Structure 1
Amino acid sequence: MMRRRHLLLLYVLAGCASPPRPAPPVSHVPPPAATAPAPPPVVSVKPPTASGDMIFDAWAAEFQGRALAAGIRPDVLEREMAGLTPDSKIAALDSRQPEFSRPVSAYIKGVVTPDRAALATSRRDMAEFDAIEARYGVPREILMGVWALESGFGAIQGDYDVIRSLATLSAQGRRRDWAEGELIAALKIIQSGEHPRAQLRGSWAGAMGQTQFIPSTFLSTAVDHDGDGRRDIWRNRADALASAANLLAKGGWVRGQSWAREVTVPAGFDFSLTEGPKLTPDQWAQMGVVRADGLPWTEADRTAQAQLSAPAGAAGPLFLLFPNHFAIRKYNNSLAYALGVGLLADSFSGAGGLTRPWPQEQPLSLVDRMTAQRALAALGFDPGAPDGVVGMNTRTALRAWQKARGLTADGYLSPDMVRRLKAEAGAS
């Protein structure tokens, strides 16, 4: 009984005790703001020395910021831009548009010569070719064709200061974006320590070495074939030729396939198919297109997609162009250039000449070419800007006009076509 009273007393005292203190309220004050990152340090670069040419100096001052943003160090930029002046010879070369275009037949006749074939004979057995062919799959004859056209087998590489050349082209503005990109690439070559500026000599347009690589192509594609730690396309022919092979391989070169083959077509053939669809040789054969030499297609060629080309019109030699032709055009995007390389390669390998000879073509003046383009546009066949360059757009428009008028639609701008266009459009 006594024990119950003590327990009851404890319960009463517990009920009278003060309630527990509530927890302090949660603070809703936001934490201090994060510290903003410090701005990048301001890079100080000395302004370029005035050259005396206002246009060039204004460009050089603006270019500094773009070069720094592209990763060129201030010390490299200051050193290479110091005392830089435009080259008046380059300015004249870049702005000069030929009054007369050189016909493809004249170009090929000037390229595929007995002299070049003789010079190639002593180079066919160079030890470097075995390893280059095995690695990249590009035949030595094709590489010799490139080598011959680009620098006369290394003899004519150009002696222009590439930095000065590209700076001049950049300041002129006609091709500023391209030229500035190549100038920055050239500065990166110097900055890397791989080659000093004194080594960067080349053509007036910035192409360098035995295989005439522009600086950006050197950075992305040149190779050190002999393993000496330096990609030397100027003095080391193995590096130069392997670099050219690497460019062609990256451009889609297919081992074992032809670059092109001369073909014949039946009477009444629809020449509007030139520079058009890409079909297999068997598919072309269904339309009467066959090898001019009468030989069968190899298995490698039979499965390839080939395009029909009539570079000198329906009266000249005709070709099926295989993917390797277009790989050559990654080197230089010119039909005539790729034909020159390929036909040179054929001559180096001892292949016979063409079945159909090149016709005697008459050069067209710049005025005639531009007049023809304006006439096509006036007649509703858009050739693009009337710039006098007979490129793909002009040839496509011309083929459409020829086909609409019942003419041979080969897209070939001859003097006769110019006269017809001018007469129909009433051009003077």
Structure 2
Amino acid sequence: MRTRLPLFLLLAGCATPVAPAASALQAVPHSATPAAADAARPAQASVAPPTASGDMIFDAWASDFQGRALAAGIDPAVFRREMAGLTPDPRIAALDSRQPEFSKPIGDYLKGVVTADRVTIGQRRRADVAEFGAIESRYGVPRDILIGIWALESGYGSIQGDNDVLRSLATLAAQGRRRAWAEGEMIATLRIIQSGEHPRSRLKGSWAGAMGQTQFIPSTYLATAVDQDGDGRRDIWGSRADALASAANLLAKAGWTRGQGWAREVTVPAGFDFGLTEGPRETPAWWADKGVRPADGRPWSAADQAAKAQLVAPAGAGGPLFLLLPNHFVLRQYNNSLAYSLGVGLLADRLGGGAGVVRPWPAETPLSLVDRMTAQRALAALGFDPGAPDGVVGMGTRRALREWQKARGLTADGYLSGDMVRRLRDEAAAKPAR
């Protein structure tokens, strides 16, 4: 699946573990002579260097990797055949190291996700896939959620990526930044090929190794892909039924609760303590005691009333607010991004006839990488630890920002706006040097 922040990162935790290599030296009596010990050693399969791309780093990694691949059960003949002539892809090396200069505001991202055209196409697709009824019945995941994933992952199957997945993963593994993950996915790819289910030529996908209409990484394909159309193959590239049922199976295995929603937009009273955002998970009744109400005025369903929800303010106190139900966090198992999961859910709501958010998304100015890192360094200098200053505004940065905002008497929503960057920078610059 894609990682947006990117798609494939979420499922890296699903990577197939590599089995430890068996000892090549069998037990030999202590009294045995060296010659006898040598005779007792099992014969080793001779494996030539797997590739000679001319890139010294890549070739050294490939030679080192072959032992781990064979120990994980990859047939030497399959390994030699698929690695022969393999070269790193320079485009992927550049993409993996690229940090976006500007971060798109979440409101702009979501307005680009939930569009009239995408809703129209999605509603048409609802009628096109005859298997939706069977998929919903078996896995309990609503078709509108699956259509939302389908839309975001591949534009309803139209944009699946045409990269050789094995080459992409080999390039990522050789670079070393995410070597263990990429090698695990390479072994999963080789297992697919070795099984005969699909040849390597079929395993096309994104630059990060995500494949098919629902963008599964190879280990996730092995663990959760299903043959919904009954043709004997799990074809997430050419079969819409297989791709959508596989996504439903992934969500069901991750804990999707049948009959519950995913989130509700809410309102809060004046003076509300925004320090509660991204904090406790409590029932809607608990939140109601604090003045939190559904923005559309409709009551909670019985299933949702029993669920524990977390409050978020994705665009700060001035934007739409949401109580996230447990199924939202299941969507995060597909792609661990708040923006992505909100996009899937809000698009699904529109497909089901909903009107969209009640409170409009505020106009926001994109923050540069320098802005984000400046804010993180300023927080650290002022005694509020956001973690490493990497320019990624994640949970640690938002928590530190809320603590700083609360200490300064500001609305503690944890939202990093341009104004917050300026305030942090100026305060840190004015702090006397020790």
What is the TM-score normalised by the length of structure 1? 0.91
| Contact 1:147 1:153 (8 Å CA) reproduced | yes
Residues of 2 paired with 1:273 and 1:39: CA distance? Answer: 64
Residues of 2 paired with 1:40 and 1:131: CA distance? Answer: 52
Counterpart for residue 94 of structure 2: 92
Per the alignment, do residues 131 and 39 of structure 1 end up closer, same or farther by CA in structure 2, a change over 3 Å counting? farther
Counterpart for residue 69 of structure 2: 67
| Contact 1:223 1:239 (8 Å CA) reproduced | yes
Residues of 2 paired with 1:427 and 1:66: CA distance? Answer: 54
Query: Does residue 1:52 correspond to 2:54, yes or no?
Result: yes
Query: Does residue 1:196 correspond to 2:199, yes or no?
Result: yes
Counterpart for residue 28 of structure 1: none
Per the alignment, do residues 40 and 308 of structure 1 end up closer, same or farther by CA in structure 2, a change over 3 Å counting? farther
Counterpart for residue 303 of structure 1: 306
Per the alignment, do residues 427 and 371 of structure 1 end up closer, same or farther by CA in structure 2, a change over 3 Å counting? farther
Fraction of identical pairs, as percent: 76
Residue identity in the other structure for 1:100? F
| Contact 2:269 2:292 (8 Å CA) reproduced | yes
Equivalent of residue 376 in structure 2, options 367, 373, 378: 373
Q: CA deviation at 1:41?
A: 3.2
Residues of 2 paired with 1:205 and 1:366: CA distance? Answer: 22
Residues of 1 paired with 2:183 and 2:41: CA distance? Answer: 27
| Contact 2:51 2:62 (8 Å CA) reproduced | no
Residue identity in the other structure for 2:112? G
**RMSD of the alignment, in Å?**
1.8
Query: Does residue 1:268 correspond to 2:271, yes or no?
Result: yes
Counterpart for residue 333 of structure 2: 330
Residues of 1 paired with 2:133 and 2:141: CA distance? Answer: 10
Counterpart for residue 118 of structure 2: 116
| Contact 1:207 1:214 (8 Å CA) reproduced | yes
| Contact 1:375 1:422 (8 Å CA) reproduced | yes
Counterpart for residue 214 of structure 1: 217
| Aligned positions of 1:403-414 closer than 5 A | 403-414=406-417
**Helix, strand or coil at the partner of 1:254:** coil
| Contact 1:44 1:74 (8 Å CA) reproduced | no
Residue identity in the other structure for 2:427? E
Query: Does residue 1:287 correspond to 2:293, yes or no?
Result: no
Question: Of the two structures, which has the highest relative contact order with CA contacts closer than 8 Å and spacing of 6 or more?
Answer: 2
Deviations 1:59-114 (A, max 9, x none): 11111111111111100110010000000111111111100011101110110000
Residues of 2 paired with 1:385 and 1:232: CA distance? Answer: 41
**Helix, strand or coil at the partner of 1:97:** coil
| Contact 1:375 1:427 (8 Å CA) reproduced | no
4+ aligned runs moved over 4 Å, structure 1: 32-40
| Contact 1:371 1:427 (8 Å CA) reproduced | no
Q: CA deviation at 1:254?
A: 0.6
Query: Does residue 1:139 correspond to 2:148, yes or no?
Result: no
Residue identity in the other structure for 1:88? P
Residues of 2 paired with 1:40 and 1:426: CA distance? Answer: 67
Residues of 2 paired with 1:286 and 1:41: CA distance? Answer: 72
Counterpart for residue 107 of structure 1: 109
**Helix, strand or coil at the partner of 2:103:** coil
| Contact 1:254 1:324 (8 Å CA) reproduced | yes
What is the TM-score normalised by the length of structure 2? 0.89
Residues of 1 paired with 2:225 and 2:406: CA distance? Answer: 45
Counterpart for residue 241 of structure 1: 244
Q: CA deviation at 1:48?
A: 2.0
Counterpart for residue 383 of structure 1: 386
Gaps of 5+ in 2: 1-29
Residues of 1 paired with 2:40 and 2:106: CA distance? Answer: 61
Q: CA deviation at 1:38?
A: 5.0
Q: CA deviation at 1:233?
A: 0.3
**Helix, strand or coil at the partner of 1:308:** strand
Residues of 1 paired with 2:364 and 2:210: CA distance? Answer: 30
Counterpart for residue 152 of structure 2: 149
| Contact 1:273 1:308 (8 Å CA) reproduced | yes
| Contact 1:151 1:212 (8 Å CA) reproduced | yes
Residues of 2 paired with 1:280 and 1:167: CA distance? Answer: 46
Deviations 1:351-386 (A, max 9, x none): 012110000111100011011101111111111110
Aligned residue pairs total 398
Counterpart for residue 17 of structure 2: none
Counterpart for residue 417 of structure 1: 420
Counterpart for residue 11 of structure 1: none
Counterpart for residue 173 of structure 1: 176
| Contact 1:248 1:331 (8 Å CA) reproduced | yes
Residues of 2 paired with 1:288 and 1:368: CA distance? Answer: 35
Segment of structure 1 superposing worse, 140-149 or 51-60: 51-60
Q: CA deviation at 1:324?
A: 0.6
Residues of 2 paired with 1:154 and 1:74: CA distance? Answer: 35
**Helix, strand or coil at the partner of 1:83:** coil
Segment of structure 1 superposing worse, 36-45 or 71-80: 36-45
Q: CA deviation at 1:50?
A: 1.2
Q: CA deviation at 1:226?
A: 2.0
Equivalent of residue 348 in structure 1, options 351, 356, 363: 351
**Helix, strand or coil at the partner of 1:262:** strand
| Aligned positions of 1:386-397 closer than 5 A | 386-397=389-400
| Contact 1:281 1:306 (8 Å CA) reproduced | yes
Residue identity in the other structure for 1:387? D
Residues of 1 paired with 2:149 and 2:279: CA distance? Answer: 26
Residues of 2 paired with 1:99 and 1:207: CA distance? Answer: 24
